[in-house]
Structure 1
Amino acid sequence: MPVHGDTVRFGVHSGQQNRTFGESLELWQRAEELGYAWASVFDHFRPPLGGPGGPCFDGMTLLAALAARTSRIRCALMVSAPTWRHPAVAAAMAATIDHISGGRLEFGLGAGGDDLAYAQYGIPFPPAGTRMDLLEEACGVARALWTREVSDFAGRHVRLEGAHLEPKPLQSRIPLVIGGDGERRLLRIVAEHADIWNTLAGTPESYRRKRDALARHCAETGRPPEEIRRSVTFRAVLAENERDAAARKEELLRRLPADSPLLDEYVTFGTPEQCVADLLRFRALGVTDFILGVRPPIDWLTVELVARHVMPAVVTAK
């Protein structure tokens, strides 16, 4: 599946708060069978759900294992914070996973946000400005190590001196996904470095504002905005008819507190036809990649309805 262009892709983003590897593997292999083009894991050590002791597999090592047990689907980490690993170490791990996957990796980077691991594990959590600096330097370090025979890099936080990375990735250009929506600094980094920009869907109105901010940054850097694929992560609760969809929504609301931030991530509570209409509003704004957020307990009905009914309608829409 090409990275550039306006080809529409659907994927699943699997928050790996499972208790067995088999649960994660089942979702990825089933997504591949259903025709999804992409599957990703997150890169939290202590995730925001499940309390301070909730289950969570490591993202990078899980990604390598899942890549080895799939054959077609694009394999992604979305997104890794450079506070977790030295950027050169992360780039080397990414190159290895690209080999494991047979050249299917799409590597995500972000500035990082709240994670209980910072306090639990004693990992430093720099101020936002420093994390943005680290993100920008991580992009440059990764691209240099993936493409140059010898790399030197002198940033404020990261240095490379005569650095080698062999073997190089299988792909001549690993797609770099940058996640986030900060309009002043984050989207500037997207304009300069990203092949794919990912953000939570939100509302079409809020997405339009972010898209326009990115376009302004692209104009300032001299980069055509169409070089960057636009990706949104969304959630949905679907059923084959409106009555069942309403019942499933009520079931979800009994499990989630009324002030849960997760509720803002849901684009549709309804039928596949309603989901198609909701996603086409984003497609009209230039979105090419639609990533269905799936965390345990896995909503298999929604995963299958999106694949069988939503995906074909959105992909073929004019």
Structure 2
Amino acid sequence: MTIRIGVQIQPQHADYAQIRDAARRAEEIGVDVIFNWDHFYPLYGEPDGKHFEAWTMLAAWAEQTTRVEIGCLVTCNSYRNPELLADMARTVDHISDGRLVFGIGSGWFERDYTEYGYDFGTAGSRLDALGEALPRIEKRWSELNPAPLGRSGSGRIPVMIGGGGEKKTLKYVAKHADIWHSFSDIPTLERKHGILAEHCKNVGRDVSEIEVSVEVSDVESAKAFADAGATLFTHGVNGPDYDLSFLEELVAWRDSQGSAT
């Protein structure tokens, strides 16, 4: 797989005009994917600071941008009925002409749950719920009219699963995902990629079909992750200023590898 560059525009501590401007600038710089995240309150900084909802924002980005893929890094499975979420994703997929990446995970930020009235449960119960939701989402996509466009008109919306649980999450990645986002260091990534390969073997997939996604803060770490098998490198930026200068370095490094968009 070719090297790709992403940015996570964290929808906190900013007015929406600043977020919209950051997405515009990121596309102009040449990134491949623009992500937000799916929370209801800031994850750091002032806990009651400005914050915006993810999926309505993705619909706006779908109209605002023309080339980049867009998505959540990642959607919390707990916050929306799976069938509704599937329909929302299909709609944004069409608005964007097939540029949606459907990122999803089991959820973890307890304040979101308590403030919005969701059952927090346990890490295990949330992972079980994710495992139950993924086939329901895929089934709903197969039933919707019109059907999803998907990447390059394939009819399949690429699925990104975030997390590293070896017994459940990686098994879901092997069965359902096109992209695995690993929240781990390099030694852990290498070890868990081996576990993912075993899960893939058990379901008849080649692990090389699954893009490995990581977060990076400098080019040297991106190079090291690339040596470990990652190909999608995302840098997170916080409001209100959204400093994108490092993205220019990442894009230049990508282009030097012969992987320009």
TM-score by length of 2: 0.91
Q: Would you say how many aligned residue pairs link Structure 1 and Structure 2? A: 255
Counterpart in the other structure of 1:177: 160
Counterpart in the other structure of 1:102: 97
SS at match of 1:280: helix
Counterpart in the other structure of 1:251: none
Q: Aligned partners of 1:316, 1:120: CA distance in 2, in Å?
A: 43
Match of 1:221 among 178, 203, 209: 203
Q: State the 1:60 CA deviation.
A: 0.5
1:220-261 deviation line (CA, Å, top 9, x unaligned):
222110111111122x2xxxxxxxxxxxxxxxxxxxxxxxxx
Counterpart in the other structure of 1:167: 146
Q: Aligned partners of 1:42, 1:185: CA distance in 2, in Å?
A: 22
Code of the residue aligned with 1:173 in structure 2: it is R
Q: Is the 8 A contact 1:14 1:295 kept in 2?
A: yes
Q: Aligned partners of 2:74, 2:185: CA distance in 1, in Å?
A: 21
TM-score by length of 1: 0.76
Q: Aligned partners of 2:247, 2:228: CA distance in 1, in Å?
A: 24
Q: State the 1:315 CA deviation.
A: 4.8
- Which has the higher relative contact order, 1 or 2, with Cα contacts under 8 A spaced 6 or more apart? 2
Q: Is the 8 A contact 1:44 1:115 kept in 2?
A: no
Structure 1 gaps, min length 5:
1-5, 150-164, 237-267, 269-274
Code of the residue aligned with 1:280 in structure 2: it is K
Counterpart in the other structure of 1:63: 58
Counterpart in the other structure of 1:34: 29
Counterpart in the other structure of 2:237: 294
Matched, 1:205 2:187: yes
Match of 1:88 among 63, 83, 95: 83
Q: Aligned partners of 1:47, 1:86: CA distance in 2, in Å?
A: 23
Q: Is the 8 A contact 1:10 1:290 kept in 2?
A: yes
Q: Aligned partners of 1:113, 1:90: CA distance in 2, in Å?
A: 18
Match of 1:193 among 155, 158, 176: 176
Q: State the 1:42 CA deviation.
A: 0.5
Structure 2 gaps, min length 5:
none
Code of the residue aligned with 2:247 in structure 1: it is V
Q: Aligned partners of 2:133, 2:256: CA distance in 1, in Å?
A: 38
1:133-172 correspondence runs (5 A):
133-147=128-142, 149=143, 165-171=144-150, 172=155
Q: State the 1:316 CA deviation.
A: 5.2
Identity between Structure 1 and Structure 2 (%) = 38
Q: Is the 8 A contact 1:230 1:288 kept in 2?
A: yes
Q: State the 1:314 CA deviation.
A: 4.3
Q: Aligned partners of 1:295, 1:182: CA distance in 2, in Å?
A: 27
Q: Aligned partners of 2:122, 2:213: CA distance in 1, in Å?
A: 27
CA-based RMSD of the aligned residues comes to 1.8
SS at match of 1:61: helix
- Are residues 66 and 193 of structure 1, via their aligned partners in 2, closer, same or farther at CA, if it must alter by over 3 Å? same
Q: Aligned partners of 1:27, 1:126: CA distance in 2, in Å?
A: 35
Q: State the 1:61 CA deviation.
A: 0.4
Q: Aligned partners of 1:299, 1:115: CA distance in 2, in Å?
A: 29
